[in-house]
Amino acid sequence: MKDIHSHLIYGVDDGSKSLEESIELLKKMEKAGTTDLMLTPHYVENSKYVCNNKAKKEIFNKLKERAKKENININLYLGNEVFFTDKFLKLIKNGEIRTLNNSKYLLFEFPMNHLYTNTPEVISSIISKGCVPVLAHPERYMKFIKHPDLAEEYLRMGVLLQGNFTSLFRKYGSKPKKVLTYYLKNHWITFLGSDTHNEVKRYSEKKLRRKLLRITKDKDYVDDLLYNNFDKVINNEEIGILR
């Protein structure tokens, strides 16, 4: 299993608080079947979650070194989960935020309870500069819960969707599970991630795969969700989305 969303860059957001905690979480994730992990700390302007690229990279390197000493066999990569802003491009240029593994793919999130009126314009502007926006956990936003088909409008804009697979196990309740299931049936989801902050539920790769196959009835799509699309991000390749 290759996980594109996690918060194990310790001490910079509401995820892991220490190197030791991150190592313990990595051990649990390895046991559950994770082989590759993207570390995506929050970046929220005008908040305490504003760790820049230099500081993130220092923590990342310490974590990689310690994981190697602990014989943890998970490949680690660095990115961000960026709170929606009209300054995406400026923040990238100034070394404040990172795309996923320095690729063209940028993971971002909306406020939970509303959307900004300038959203389409901002998305269009970053796409025009070569970025591919990836929306984190669409099944959790109230607008999408109330109007699930709203996601299709974002797909048409060129946004890719990353679902939290923990939603399928009711981590956030029945409504996000229902919405994510609907998106998976429509093949609207491109990536899956754990969004691990400071706990790891025992959702093994085998259990998740079985659930995804029951929902989608499509082995190739499940392979893309769990492995192939992650690799394309790492290699900065184009992703052909099955609609």
Average pLDDT of the chain is 95
Quote the tokens at residue 119: 């959203």
Count of beta carbons in the 10 Å neighbourhood of residue 130: 8
How many residues does the structure list for the chain? 243
pLDDT, tens only, 206-224? 899 999 999 999 999 999 9
Q: What is the 3-state secondary structure (H, E, C) of 140-191?
A: HCHHHHHCCCHHHHHHHHCCEEEEEHHHHHCCCCHHHHHHHHHHHHCCCCCE
pLDDT of residue 202: 62
Q: Classify domain 2-234 by CATH architecture.
A: Alpha-Beta Barrel (3.20)
On whether the pTM is more than 0.85, the answer is yes
pLDDT of residue 37: 98
Work out the angle at residue 88's Cα, subtended by the Cα atoms of residues 143 and 9, and round it to the nearest 5 degrees: 85
Give 243's pLDDT tier (boundaries 50, 70, 90).
Answer: very low
